[in-house]
A and B are shown apart, each in its own frame.
Chain A
Amino acid sequence: MKNSVYILLITLLLGACDKGFEEINVNPTKPDQVSVSTKLTATQLYTSGSRYENWRANLIYSSTMIQHLATTAGYWSGDKYTWNRGYAASLIDQYYPTAVKSVEDMLLQLETEDAPAEMKAITRIMRVFIYHRLTDMYGDIPYFNGGKAVINGTLKPEYDAQSAIYADMLKELEESAAALGDGTSAFGAADIMFQGDQAKWRRFAYSMMLRLGLRLVKVDPAAAEQWATKAISGGVMESNADIAYIQHTAGPEGINKNGNGEVFSADGNPRMSETFVNVLQGDPRLPILAARRSDGSTDPADLKGLPNGLDANLLLQQTGEEDTTPYAEPNRNIITGEDAPMFFQTYAEVEFMLAEAAVRWGLAGGDPEPHYNAGVRAAMNMLELYGSAAVIDEADISAYLAANPFDSANALEQINTQYWAATFLNEYEAFANWRRTGFPVLIPVNYPGNETNGTIPRRLTYPESEQSNNAENYQAVLAAQGPDLLTTRVWWDAE
């Protein structure tokens, strides 16, 4: 009896203390990996963005600073150059935990799974797109080790110099474009931007190379010309069929919706800026882009833009208006839907860049005018992606071009003012291109208590949490780039 008790005990004690524990601790409700294609779809939607950063970084700050929109609402900080640190950091706060983290995870998976080269190329192009938006907005940012807390254990990444980031992004685009083949990539329909069309991805890669190359025009004109040359010879977008955009749906969840559209669903404060409406006078786009707040009228005679930099008091003093309902707002019947397309880069922008390359360096055939005309036509025609109400007659476009012919004396201003009009709602790009070219010439506002001494901000600022959560690297970047202010210029934005 005694022996059997001991045997029983010993067996029980030594055999079973952690038997099967490894299997138990595997979560039965969550996979340990998912198909990389599902991640691409998510990453593209993350890049298009949520309401959060589209509201704050894209609209509240960028759109008003470059005077596409205007408002009297105090929390629209960009309209009056006031500083809301949370709003200013929103693109970082939102992008790194979603788009950046996801695209880095995709690259690791593609490497591990030894995926086809074109999948890696497409993912690398997406990564460049995500990062160029971030660095253009903030300057130096963690680039080489951002979003890699799990991949390589970097919990507090260093900030990388924008010059190094640009060099790497351009190299990435070059290598990726070269790695793309023909036909449909293995991503197929999971690629909600180009449905896996590798030729379109290649043209997008070279078009991005053109964009990034031109960004260098102030800081390194030779490199700018060199990259523009490379991009043009590689083959950029050729028609509106090449536009890089995300088609949104009105639901069922937030991630499916156009983030800008969600903002307009929730916020009735923004109006079309007086600056923008004035530029659009005689432009067939005006009644498509704008409508009067009070009654929705799109009669150009009824469309009045709101001056930037006013609060309700100043509005009353300066205009006699008691509120902003007589002013135009983005046309809610056409362009502000939650199912509207979100543009990453358009063919129109590419034609305007070609025109500029022709002006500056005699590239792209050497004659800017056909590129300018093609750009204007593309910018007007592409509105049809907003639906049938946004289709502009060819005759109206021709009439507009006839009335506003290419003016070689003011070529850069004219081209980049068109670029500015064509990037309405892609305010990140509009803000970056304005800083690069200085066009259109904007008259800054000087609202009492503004943060910039009455100058248009040159960047947005880092998250406040970095001061405590990444203190060493944060101090280092201040030393390298300058104070964390709205007025500090990023590397390529040389004076």
Chain B
Amino acid sequence: MHKRLNAMLLLAMLCCFQYSIAQQITVTGTVTDENGNLLPGVNVVEKGTNNGTATDFDGNYAIDVADSSGVLVFSSLGYSTKEVNMNGRNTVNVSLAEDASQLDEVVVTALGIKKDQKALGYSLTEVGGEELSTIKQTNAINALQGKIAGVNITQNATGAAGSSRVIIRGASSLSGDNQPLYVVDGIPISNTNNGSASLWGGADGGDGISSLSPDDIESVSVLKGGAASALYGSRAAGGVILLTTKTGKKSQGLGVEFSSAVTFDQVNTSLQDFQTEYGQGTQGRKPATQGEALDLGTSSWGARLDGSPVIQWDGETRPYSYVGNNQDHFYRTGTTLINTLALTNARDNMNYRFSASDLSNEDIMPNAGLNRKTFSLNLGSTMAEKLTTQVSAKYIIENVTNRPRLSDAPGNGNYTVANLPPNVDVRFMEPGTNPDGSERQYSNNSFSQNPYFAAYNFRNEDTKNRIIASSSLRYDVLSWLYLTGRAGVDHYTIKRTNVTPFGTAYRPLGAMSETEIRYTQVDADLMLGMEKQLTEDFGVTSFFGANKNSIKEEALDLSGTDFIVPGLEDIGNTANQSRNRSFGERKIGSLYGSVELSWQNWAYLTFTGRNDWFSTLSFPGKTTPNNDFYPSVNASLILSEALNIDGPVDFLKLRGGYSEVAGGAQDPYQLALTYQIFGQGHLGQPLGGINGGTVPNANLVPFSKSEFEIGVDARFLESRLTLDLAYYNNETTNDIVNVSTSVFSGYGGASANLGKVENKGIEFLVSGTPVLTENFRWDTSFNGAYNKGTVLATNDDDSDVSLDEPRTRNVRILHQVGEAYGTIVGVTYVRDDDGNIVYDINGDGVPLAQEGERKILGEGVPPLTLGFTNTFRYKNYSLNFLIDGKFGGQIFSGTNTITYGNGLHKATLAGRENGLTVSGIDGATGQPFTTTVAPENLQTYYGAINDIAEEFVEDSDYIMFRQLSLSYAMPSRLLDKTFLTGVNISLIGSNLFYLKRSVDNIDPESAYTVGNSQGLEYFGLPATRSYGLNLNVKF
């Protein structure tokens, strides 16, 4: 308060003195931000004087100074203050750098309401769009990995068009999708995952958030906890991410912005470290015949590689020598080219921004790729004195070809490439077809695909057309009262074709499907808001509103098996056809409100409430409520202001909040039994019966999640050092779980509100500017989060909730009461009391590890995440890097399991020459034994170990050098004589190398699904490192 008074006094004094000083020289210029946008309202003061002015709407200023040898000070809210020596110039153009550590930050909060950061009683992180657009990812949200404490982003091994898993403050539902709600310009958008791989294989179908072009994003606001997101009520359980798209800004030139980015992706072959000494074969000898080579497709139990001739799967004789890394041979260098052209400008009562963006990706998997075109228009206008409108519309066309198959071997080229013996060169498998079009099999196991056949003959293509549009209208009824209406739509169609071709070894006649998905979400808000300072000290900011949200989904599916005419891939050309249509519609109606009380600008108390009515909980004759209320309260106390703290502490805020939000119960038609006419009749009689195998629960409610959070926000040394700490504790109750039923009940299960999950955690962000001189600046920040998720209850008898298992089927992700969320439970060794492994000795005297009971072997989601960012700016150069890490989690490696069994894993080298000495307990006698396994029996010995999941669950800890960028902004003096107003060039790199990695041979994040079954690796696309170049030009 005192500061503010001082500032006002100063301003008054300025006004007085201005006229009493003699004026001699007029200095003019333009002030822009780092991106060349014109900045209005920047204070320009002649240093050491009270002489000052401010920039106009177009960023121009003119100041009269006594002489031009002095220094001008430019300052503006949200930007670093800059001092510039006039050096006798009459024109001084300046660009200001944004300063994230400014005190009076205005951030976007729930429902798009802009608020002063200091009034918030909860944790909210807002980052600028450049965090997404400097190092562009094909799924833009992935660029935030490691940057925001408490936001755990996992990029899976699913290819460039794959989905992303974003979990904020731990997963809160045992079976829900747990990902945040994405809201674009006030409109919730779909982030549906349209298919993912399972233990039987499949491909990732992509998600909704990937549609957005990173160049269109102005800012990203992450509402981590319930207190921040409570105004989204039943959709807030996973947190909310608000994306605000760019609007038109006054530009210096024509207002053209062009950006071009090229990125090259290469398989990070350094991860895989297999043995290269022993070749294809069995029992220590190489194949003798072509038939044997086919039988031993992926068996590396042969002789030591000696360069002697050996017959291979295709009947050719080649040297028995290491052929190099087959990943290098098979995968290509992926390229991603992103070009964006934007036209942006502002006039007196309107602003606009139009952009067109093209993303073309060729994935590292041959013949796989992605093209995404985005057209975006933002239009803002002041239609009348008190009436403003904002319209934004995006049209996105996305074509994906050949989403790579993952997990199980059929159709999955990755499986073959990873498993080939060291002397078998994958390149000889090209082409993947015989002259008659059938698959060229390299192995007698027909499920193990020729990778070229998988890449070029298997076909999956999808096209997504999507419109995301919103419009809003604000009418300022009185100076303190406004009315806002907003409506928007997210609509898309996906057309997908999937072909298992004629001639596929495991499915000789082939199969195909054609799917069309339609999705429409309509969302509308009406809100009345007021901001009033009631007394000098006491202010009220509040709003009340209503929302209606409706979602319709429809899918048409045609499928056929057994092509009749070879090569004609059309549904009509299949012998057995079936069709299906699914449809779902749901609506939520809501009333909400928020009241914020403020006292003297240092104490803030905010209450919010939302009541949601659900169509999914409505049914004729239903007596239980179809609605629920979600309240929150949060408070912020600016101690530095209240106590008038001086000294090194600039700002100290305590905050705290409590909230109740919800999730789930999203599926329509779950309350009552329905029937169906099914099949195609029998002897002319239709077949009818009950639809579905789950007992409907008319009393189902959404799960509720309550959360308590507190935090500290402190800034020291003129904000050169800032600290943000948060602690939260949330509990999900009434989680919707499957209640196991007896098979005698006739039903496979029933849904009930019985689950309970707890998440506790801390988040921290320390950032600072250790060095700050006129030409050099070093900004650093370190963030981290630790989340402990615990399953408190599962179902009626607290039995385990089963999630997915990998193809090895010796391990599974489970929710167990009292344990971490999503534990890895698998087959262990049998051990005696002293921990010695128990073996069965077989007829050849080979000890075979006994399969023990299934035990917890780890947790799939690392609880600790860290990120370390540094930016160095020297004059017009800027160097930025990000290191991130995750700790405390484990991963089951299918790659290590399978390669252990087939003799490719390096550990299987032990004993190849002279036999392996094994000690343990003989299961038959209970007595210790020591024996030497002869080289020819090693595969039997190792083969038994590969059934033991315990051996292949390892820590997934890593520290990665995630991002690097070196940027150069051409100085304005070089551009002055050109038509250009801004040029920026960056060299970028991402996923460059691991500083630490616990697990062998694989990327510790290479899960194949974005679902809750994290911690399973099974032959996804190999990890890549990327390099590229970014160019931004403005004129």
Q: Does A42 interact with chain B (Cβ within 8 Å)? A: yes
Q: A194-223 toward B: CB 8 Å interface, digit per residue (1/0)?
A: 000000000000000000000000000000
- Cβ B686 vs Cβ A41 within 8 A: yes
Q: B680-720 toward A: CB 8 Å interface, digit per residue (1/0)?
A: 11111111111101011000000000000000000000000
- Cβ A32 vs Cβ B687 within 8 A: no
* A-binding segment of B636-644, B671-679, B994-1002: B671-679
Q: Does A230 interact with chain B (Cβ within 8 Å)? A: no
Which residues of A sit under 8 angstroms from B684, Cβ to Cβ? 189
A42-B689, A105-B690, A146-B744 given; A155·B626 CB < 8 A: no
Q: Does A35 interact with chain B (Cβ within 8 Å)? A: yes
- Cβ B746 vs Cβ A5 within 8 A: no
Q: B729-767 toward A: CB 8 Å interface, digit per residue (1/0)?
A: 000000000011111111110100000000000000000
Q: Does A64 interact with chain B (Cβ within 8 Å)? A: no
Q: How far is the CA of A482 from the CA of B748 in the complex (A)?
A: 27
Which residues of B sit under 8 angstroms from A156, Cβ to Cβ? 741-742, 745
Which residues of B sit under 8 angstroms from A101, Cβ to Cβ? 690, 746-747
Q: A240-280 toward B: CB 8 Å interface, digit per residue (1/0)?
A: 00000001010011011000000000000000000000000
Which residues of B sit under 8 angstroms from A470, Cβ to Cβ? 742, 744
Q: How far is the CA of A29 from the CA of B674 in the complex (A)?
A: 10
Q: Output the nearest chain B residue to A109 by Cβ-Cβ distance.
A: B675
Q: How far is the CA of A2 from the CA of B477 in the complex (A)?
A: 8
Q: How far is the CA of A141 from the CA of B746 in the complex (A)?
A: 13
Which residues of A sit under 8 angstroms from B480, Cβ to Cβ? none
A21-B587, A38-B677, A149-B741 given; A27·B687 CB < 8 A: no
Q: How far is the CA of A44 from the CA of B306 in the complex (A)?
A: 67
Which of B686, B691, B739, B744 counts the most chain A CB atoms within 10 A? B744
Q: Output the nearest chain A residue to B554 by Cβ-Cβ distance.
A: A29
Q: Does A463 interact with chain B (Cβ within 8 Å)? A: yes
Q: A1-27 toward B: CB 8 Å interface, digit per residue (1/0)?
A: 110010001001100111111101111
Q: Does A421 interact with chain B (Cβ within 8 Å)? A: no
Which residues of A sit under 8 angstroms from B481, Cβ to Cβ? 2
A105-B689, A463-B743 given; A18·B627 CB < 8 A: yes
Q: Does B258 interact with chain A (Cβ within 8 Å)? A: no
Q: Does A96 interact with chain B (Cβ within 8 Å)? A: yes
Q: How far is the CA of A22 from the CA of B679 in the complex (A)?
A: 29
* A-binding segment of B69-77, B94-102, B354-362, B612-620: B612-620
Q: How far is the CA of A20 from the CA of B685 in the complex (A)?
A: 36
Q: Does A184 interact with chain B (Cβ within 8 Å)? A: no
Main secondary structure of the interface of B (DSSP, over half): strand
User: Which one, B675, B681, B746, contacts A34 given CB within 8 A?
Assistant: B675
* A-binding segment of B172-180, B576-584, B807-815: B576-584
Q: Does B62 interact with chain A (Cβ within 8 Å)? A: no
Q: How far is the CA of A228 from the CA of B741 in the complex (A)?
A: 39
User: Which one, A41, A104, A105, contacts B687 given CB within 8 A?
Assistant: A41
User: Which one, B613, B617, B691, B744, contacts A141 given CB within 8 A?
Assistant: B744
A22-B619, A25-B668 given; A150·B695 CB < 8 A: yes
Within 8 A of A (CB), among B515-549: 526, 528, 544, 546, 548
A25-B669, A27-B674 given; A104·B746 CB < 8 A: yes
- Cβ A12 vs Cβ B589 within 8 A: no
Which residues of B sit under 8 angstroms from A39, Cβ to Cβ? 688-689
- Cβ B683 vs Cβ A17 within 8 A: no
User: Which one, B546, B618, B797, contacts A13 given CB within 8 A?
Assistant: B546
Q: Does A367 interact with chain B (Cβ within 8 Å)? A: no
Q: How far is the CA of A473 from the CA of B585 in the complex (A)?
A: 40
Q: Output the nearest chain B residue to A463 by Cβ-Cβ distance.
A: B743
Q: How far is the CA of A190 from the CA of B746 in the complex (A)?
A: 24
Which residues of B sit under 8 angstroms from A252, Cβ to Cβ? 576, 680
User: Which one, B544, B548, B746, B799, contacts A16 given CB within 8 A?
Assistant: B548
| Distance from B377 Cβ to chain A, minimum over Cβ atoms (Å) | 29
Q: How far is the CA of A249 from the CA of B483 in the complex (A)?
A: 68
User: Which one, B544, B590, B741, contacts A469 given CB within 8 A?
Assistant: B741
Which residues of A sit under 8 angstroms from B581, Cβ to Cβ? 29
Which residues of A sit under 8 angstroms from B679, Cβ to Cβ? 253, 255-256
- Cβ A18 vs Cβ B626 within 8 A: yes
- Cβ B695 vs Cβ A149 within 8 A: yes
Q: How far is the CA of A30 from the CA of B616 in the complex (A)?
A: 16
A18-B618, A155-B739, A252-B576 given; A34·B676 CB < 8 A: yes
Q: How far is the CA of A469 from the CA of B739 in the complex (A)?
A: 9
| Distance from B516 Cβ to chain A, minimum over Cβ atoms (Å) | 16
| Distance from B738 Cβ to chain A, minimum over Cβ atoms (Å) | 11
- Cβ A192 vs Cβ B676 within 8 A: no
Which residues of A sit under 8 angstroms from B627, Cβ to Cβ? 17-18
- Cβ B676 vs Cβ A32 within 8 A: no
Which residues of B sit under 8 angstroms from A18, Cβ to Cβ? 589, 613-615, 618, 626-627
- Cβ A24 vs Cβ B615 within 8 A: yes
| Distance from A331 Cβ to chain B, minimum over Cβ atoms (Å) | 25
- Cβ A147 vs Cβ B669 within 8 A: no
Q: Output the nearest chain A residue to B576 by Cβ-Cβ distance.
A: A252
Q: Does B603 interact with chain A (Cβ within 8 Å)? A: no
Within 8 A of A (CB), among B594-613: 611, 613
Q: Does B495 interact with chain A (Cβ within 8 Å)? A: no
Q: How far is the CA of A28 from the CA of B691 in the complex (A)?
A: 13
- Cβ B615 vs Cβ A473 within 8 A: no
Q: How far is the CA of A465 from the CA of B691 in the complex (A)?
A: 23
Which residues of A sit under 8 angstroms from B489, Cβ to Cβ? none
Which residues of A sit under 8 angstroms from B777, Cβ to Cβ? none
User: Which one, A17, A100, A155, A189, contacts B695 given CB within 8 A?
Assistant: A155
A16-B548, A256-B679 given; A142·B742 CB < 8 A: yes
- Cβ A102 vs Cβ B690 within 8 A: yes
Which residues of A sit under 8 angstroms from B586, Cβ to Cβ? 24-25
Q: Does A97 interact with chain B (Cβ within 8 Å)? A: yes
Q: Does B227 interact with chain A (Cβ within 8 Å)? A: no
- Cβ A34 vs Cβ B689 within 8 A: yes
Q: How far is the CA of A1 from the CA of B477 in the complex (A)?
A: 8
Q: Does A302 interact with chain B (Cβ within 8 Å)? A: no
- Cβ A12 vs Cβ B526 within 8 A: yes
Q: Output the nearest chain B residue to A187 by Cβ-Cβ distance.
A: B685
Q: How far is the CA of A102 from the CA of B590 in the complex (A)?
A: 40
Q: Does A183 interact with chain B (Cβ within 8 Å)? A: no
Q: Does B591 interact with chain A (Cβ within 8 Å)? A: yes
- Cβ B743 vs Cβ A17 within 8 A: no
| Distance from B71 Cβ to chain A, minimum over Cβ atoms (Å) | 52
Q: How far is the CA of A90 from the CA of B739 in the complex (A)?
A: 22
A9-B526, A24-B586, A150-B695 given; A35·B743 CB < 8 A: no
Q: How far is the CA of A34 from the CA of B581 in the complex (A)?
A: 19
- Cβ A21 vs Cβ B799 within 8 A: no
| Distance from B540 Cβ to chain A, minimum over Cβ atoms (Å) | 17
Q: Does A333 interact with chain B (Cβ within 8 Å)? A: no
- Cβ B528 vs Cβ A26 within 8 A: no
Q: How far is the CA of A41 from the CA of B745 in the complex (A)?
A: 22
Q: How far is the CA of A150 from the CA of B685 in the complex (A)?
A: 26
| Distance from A97 Cβ to chain B, minimum over Cβ atoms (Å) | 5
Q: Does A311 interact with chain B (Cβ within 8 Å)? A: no
Which residues of B sit under 8 angstroms from A226, Cβ to Cβ? none
Which residues of A sit under 8 angstroms from B675, Cβ to Cβ? 30-34
- Cβ A25 vs Cβ B742 within 8 A: no
Q: Does A468 interact with chain B (Cβ within 8 Å)? A: yes
- Cβ B744 vs Cβ A26 within 8 A: no
Which residues of A sit under 8 angstroms from B671, Cβ to Cβ? 25
Given A12-B546, A41-B685, A97-B693, 6 more A-B residue pairs with CB atoms under 8 Å apart are: A24-B668, A31-B677, A38-B677, A190-B685, A252-B680, A469-B742
5 contacts between A and B (CB under 8 A): A17-B611, A30-B675, A30-B691, A156-B741, A470-B742
User: Which 9 A-B pairs rank lowest in CB-CB distance, beginning with the nearest?
Assistant: A38-B688, A101-B746, A147-B746, A470-B742, A34-B688, A21-B618, A30-B674, A18-B613, A17-B589
Residues of B within 8 A of A (CB): 477, 481, 483, 526, 528, 544, 546, 548, 576, 581-583, 585-587, 589-591, 611, 613-620, 622, 626-627, 668-669, 671-691, 693, 695-696, 739-748, 750, 797, 799
